[in-house]
Chain A
Amino acid sequence: MNNFEQYRRQFLGGALATAGAALVPGLMLVEVAEGRAPEEPASSNNRWGLLIDTTKCGNGCNECVTACSTENGWEQKGGLQDPQWIRKVELTNNNTGAKHSLPMMCQHCEHPPCVDVCPTGASFKRDDGIVLVDRHICIGCRYCMMACPYKARSLVHEDLHDTQVAHMPRGKGCVESCTMCMHKIDAGENTTACAQACPEQAILFGDLNDANSDIAQRLATYASKEVRADLGLNTGVRYTGI
């Protein structure tokens, strides 16, 4: 056990003891996250998605981008070759001058054009609707980058010199994009770094297939939009307020 693990356990142990003392026995503060067992594959019973409320999304706020960068170990250098896991897009209505801001990332389409064009099968959609790049098979041809209507993919141009985080392998010559924090979903955390970091709670993560989930209920109640709905891709990321 390393020092960090030891510290974490001590801290959690202390926190649990405090919570236990303050509560009636049998009452739990936080429900245990319902995740898959490690040996259980991702299932089409779920379809993970995000609902982004652009009326809450702040102009100039970059918290979701920073959180994604930290979580997945990519770096913004400010150039045309920057990773495109997530970026902020500022919109202005030419008639009224109203300004609008929203995060744009892989929209995790039901019918992803990036998967259609991939010559090697590296670009694929997991059973739970997450669109991914299998870097073991990616040859870096960048057809998917051209096919994506959202410009949500990017190529790693330079050697990363072993600076990757352990849960998110990345490498020179491969295309990459938002993974909807699949490592968190697989661990049963059922959230994404961007949703956790948003100070306005403008990003809601959830299961579109679960009628009782917050996201499904909000989608059923309020008007929402897909970006480029005309393409009929049935995106997993939806927006309200645009």
Chain B
Amino acid sequence: MLASWIKSAALGILVALSPLATAGGDASSVPQPVIQKGKGDKCVEDTQVMRREHMERLEHHRDETMRKGIRTTQYSLKNCIDCHATPDESGQRTVLGKDHFCQSCHAYAAVKIDCFECHSSKPEGNAAMHPIVPAQSGPGAQTAASMRHHGLSTPPSLNSSLSVKDIAGALK
């Protein structure tokens, strides 16, 4: 008699708690990150594999490149950035910043990214014309000048007097 009373009480508590439990464990109550994925519709591996294992692939490739000079692109960080970088407010393509590929997910997962303490978060084309390169000389500036000459867009940061409107005008 007593046992059955305990059983029914326990069941009652469980039933009473179950909406709470569901609410606590429901992933939809945690805001999902907005991730800009960048170009292409397919990564170098299945998405599930990349989500779980990208750090191991990158670390392995890092040693191969650094120590042996192996420059395959499949797991190279540069390759990741080339595809996944998306433009920020100034038009600079990057993987860092709110909603951008690397940072949005790492912020959601609360995992610090070390890569960009040394590596550039921007793809090669733009980085070669980075403001650290003196504006008057160097291949970066020459390229940028020749691109401007041909009416192609340059990063606004390259020349502070060049406004976003100017670039929009050049592209028209």
Contacts and interface: CB of A to CB of B under 8 A. Distances in A.
* A and B: bona fide binding partners: yes
Interface of A: 2-7, 36, 38-42, 66-67, 70, 73, 75, 124, 126-128, 132, 134-136, 162-167, 169-172, 174, 182, 185-187
B70 interface: yes
Contacts of B143: 4
B90 interface: no
B5 interface: no
Contacts of B138: 66-67, 70
B20 interface: no
B170 to A, nearest CB: 11
Contacts, number: 99
A135 B62 CA distance: 11
Nearest to A171: B118
A187 B71 contact: yes
Please indicate which of the listed interface residues B67, B71, B123 has the most CB atoms of chain A within 10 Å of its own CB. Answer: B71
B139 A70 contact: yes
Given A66-B138, A75-B132, A127 B68 contact: yes
Given A4-B152, A167-B78, A126 B69 contact: yes
B116 A38 contact: no
B31 interface: no
A162 B122 contact: yes
A35 to B, nearest CB: 10
